[in-house]
Structure 1
Amino acid sequence: MANNKSAKKRIGINKRNRLKNRYYKSSVRTLIKIFFQDLETYKTSQNPEEKEKIKKTLSSIYSLIDKGTKKNIFHKNAAARKKSKLAAYLKTT
């Protein structure tokens, strides 16, 4: 347990940062799952509306990853790797 004021403050700051990091990381994971579900439905239907839905989801994933990178939640190379893998999956369909 913290014994001085600065240690107590650091505990609060760490908790705040952990929640912020968890929000970004879980949101990105959830959107990626939605992206892959949409990708599977597009593979079976080849519907242009589905393609637009996929692109919109991919755009929101990119936005969230970029915001997380700007706030030092994701490393820049890890963010680039995630984005390029998603783009590659879209390109193969």
Structure 2
Amino acid sequence: MPNLKSAERRLRKSERRRKRNRHYKSMMKTFIKKVKNATTKEEAEAALKKVYSILDKLVVKGIIHKNRASSYKSKLAQFVNNFPTTQQAQA
């Protein structure tokens, strides 16, 4: 339990920020899973576009570092580019 009034305020602020950050990180992970679990390349590309937007917003808000967002983007783009087409999947 905080002893000072300012420490009580900091505790309340940090709890609100923690909840907000958890929400955004959970949302980010959910959309990344949507890209990885896509059944068609078109579906994966649409989900990738949404993930790019979300990652950029999280960088601006300071929730994740810009290099981490860049790393996610790179890995997911590589995944989508190597997505098997229907002819390759049937072979």
Amino acid at match of 1:14: S
Percent of aligned pairs with the same residue? Answer: 40
Runs of 4+ in 1 over 3 A off after TM superposition: none
Q: Which ranges in structure 1 are unaligned for 5 or more consecutive residues?
A: 43-49
Aligned residue in 2 for 1:19: 19
Partner residue of 1:67 out of 57, 60, 79: 57
CA distance in 1, matches of 2:14, 2:44: 35
Amino acid at match of 1:15: E
Over the aligned positions, Cα root-mean-square deviation in angstroms equals 1.1
TM-score, structure 2 as length reference: 0.84
Which structure is higher in helix share?
1
CA distance in 1, matches of 2:8, 2:34: 39
Task: Tell me the SS of whatever aligns to 2:3.
Answer: coil
TM-score, structure 1 as length reference: 0.83
Query: Number of residues paired by the alignment?
Result: 83
CA distance in 1, matches of 2:5, 2:54: 35
